[in-house]
């Protein structure tokens, strides 16, 4: 039996034939991940202080950009990459917190639409303002990293 010395997820054949990337690619990828990790750490802190989870914040964003009459739970589930029952539970928690409400669909009385409450809209506005400000502080690192990656991809 042969021993493998390849990295996790690679076979020795893949390692031998893998193209060699230039250091700038690794620097660009590291920069993008650093900017994202900093932003996500900030986001987690801010939403936790507001009394909600990151997933709930994401749901509020999805609901905000949905049609004015609201979003069906199945569509929310799809956009949130959740199973429908997970989306129902998420909406239950948001409704219990007074951030969203369920309305009967005017077109299909069997369907339920989810919309933001005034309280949910105010909280989202506050959080989105903070997130935008923080995202823009990371713009230089992100832009530099993406530019580096774009330049390197054009060379290939």
Q: Which two tokens stand for residue 33?
A: 């991940």
Per-residue pLDDT of the chain (156 residues; tens, 9 = 90+): 554 555 566 655 555 666 788 888 898 899 899 999 999 999 999 999 999 999 999 999 999 999 989 999 999 999 999 999 999 999 999 999 999 999 998 888 788 899 999 999 999 999 999 999 999 998 998 888 888 888 888 876
Please give the pLDDT value at position 84: 94
Tell me if 146 sits within 8 A of 28, measured CB to CB.
yes
Taking the C-alpha atoms of residue 131 and residue 134, their distance in angstroms, rounded to an integer, is 5
Taking the C-alpha atoms of residue 147 and residue 135, their distance in angstroms, rounded to an integer, is 17
Please give the pLDDT value at position 13: 58
Please give the pLDDT value at position 152: 82
Tell me if 124 sits within 8 A of 60, measured CB to CB.
yes
Please give the pLDDT value at position 145: 87
Please state, in angstroms and as integers, the Cα–Cα distance from residue 30 to each residue in 40, 60, 125, following that order. 15, 30, 31
- Cα–Cα nearest to 43, from 62, 60, 58: 58
């Amino acid at each position: 039996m042969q021993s493998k010395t390849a990295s996790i997820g690679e076979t020795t054949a893949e390692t031998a034939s893998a193209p060699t990337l230039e250091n700038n690619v690794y620097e660009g990828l590291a920069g993008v991940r650093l900017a994202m990790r900093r932003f996500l750490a900030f986001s987690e802190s801010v939403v936790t202080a507001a009394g909600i989870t990151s997933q709930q914040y994401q749901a509020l964003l999805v609901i905000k950009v949905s049609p004015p009459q609201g979003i069906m739970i199945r569509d929310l589930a799809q956009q949130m990459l959740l199973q429908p029952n997970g989306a129902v539970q998420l909406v239950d928690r948001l409704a219990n917190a007074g951030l969203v409400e369920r309305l009967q669909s005017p077109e299909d009385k069997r369907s339920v639409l989810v919309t933001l409450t005034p309280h949910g809209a105010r909280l989202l506005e506050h959080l989105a303002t903070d997130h935008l400000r923080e995202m823009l502080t990371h713009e230089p690192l992100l832009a530099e990293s993406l530019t580096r990656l774009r330049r390197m991809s054009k060379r290939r």
